[in-house]
Structure 1
Amino acid sequence: MKKIFIGFIQIWILCIFTYIMGEISTFLHLKIPGSIIGLVVLFILLQTNVVKLKWIEVGGNWLVAELLLFFIPSAVGMIQYKHLLIDNGIKIVAVIFISSSIVMICSGLLAEKMANRKERKTKNADTIFLNSHR
């Protein structure tokens, strides 16, 4: 029960943060949506340890796990624009395929780079440990 309450509070905090970023985007007349600005700002805050991961981890994990639910309105909206799909369906599929491929390639390269970095740190730590015990 405690974890559910913590998750609820964290989701509430993330929603408030997104709302604030949306208001800032509107106030500054930016063409970038506040939610995107919020993601970038939150990423920077997490990287600089201004915001600790444990402060938003449970809520963030739940939001990611239920991400598919957030796309249902988009799928229903597509039904309204059937003529758009008929006229431009191949182009839309091509854009989805290309953009998904780019995301998968970049994610794979980033994961590989992170794994190599972690492996180097482990090897360096082992080397230092072995050298200090000789």
Structure 2
Amino acid sequence: MVLALQVAGLIAVDQVAIALTPHLPLPLPSNLVGMLLLALLLLTGLVRESWLGQAAALFQRHLAFFFVPIAVGLMAYGSLLRQHGLVLLLVILVSTAAGIAAGGWIGTRPGLGERPPAPAP
């Protein structure tokens, strides 16, 4: 029952993000808006990690299954991958390295690792 409620909470955040996305000034995908919204809720303490942790761990354990549709979709672009595959791989590697470096730099800044106090019940 707890797991079902936690999954419902994650779905609710996703649905709010889907509703918000068309009204934003930047053309962002709704899944990114949902992750940012969830991060904001967790950072402000409005949502506690323990309220969603079990469902998040379940999704994380089975994350590889979410990439199967992407891999199947790439098969339709075989000629594009043969023609520009090395350039695409280079872009993916550089952008991944930049994201990891930025995350590491942000994570080492003083005061960012501290959690805000939990709201009183």
Q: Which category of TM-score, normalised to the shorter sequence, fits these structures? A: 0.7 to 0.9
Q: Which runs of 5+ in 1 are unaligned?
A: 122-134
C-alpha deviation, 1:59, in angstroms:
0.6
From the two aligned structures, give the one with the greater helix fraction.
1
Structure 1 Cα separation of the partners of residues 99 and 62 of structure 2? 20
Structure 2 Cα separation of the partners of residues 23 and 109 of structure 1? 33
2:20 aligned to 24, 31, 49, which one? 24
1:36 is the counterpart of 2:64 = no
Percent identity among equivalent residues? 23
Residue by residue over 1:39-87, the C-alpha shift from the partner in whole angstroms, topping out at 9 and shown as x without a partner, is 1111111111011111111111111221111111000100011111012
Q: Which has the larger radius of gyration?
A: 1
TM-score (norm 1): 0.71
**Residue pairs, 1:116-127, within 5 angstroms:** none
Between the two proteins, the alignment pairs up a number of residues equal to: 112
Identify the residue that residue 66 of structure 2 maps to in structure 1. 70
**Residue pairs, 1:47-126, within 5 angstroms:** 47-109=43-105, 113=108
TM-score (norm 2): 0.78
RMSD of Structure 2 on Structure 1 (CA): 2.4
From the superposition, tell whether residues 25 and 107 of structure 1 become closer, same or farther in structure 2 (CA, over 3 Å).
closer
Q: Which runs of 5+ in 2 are unaligned?
A: 115-121
1:8 is the counterpart of 2:4 = yes
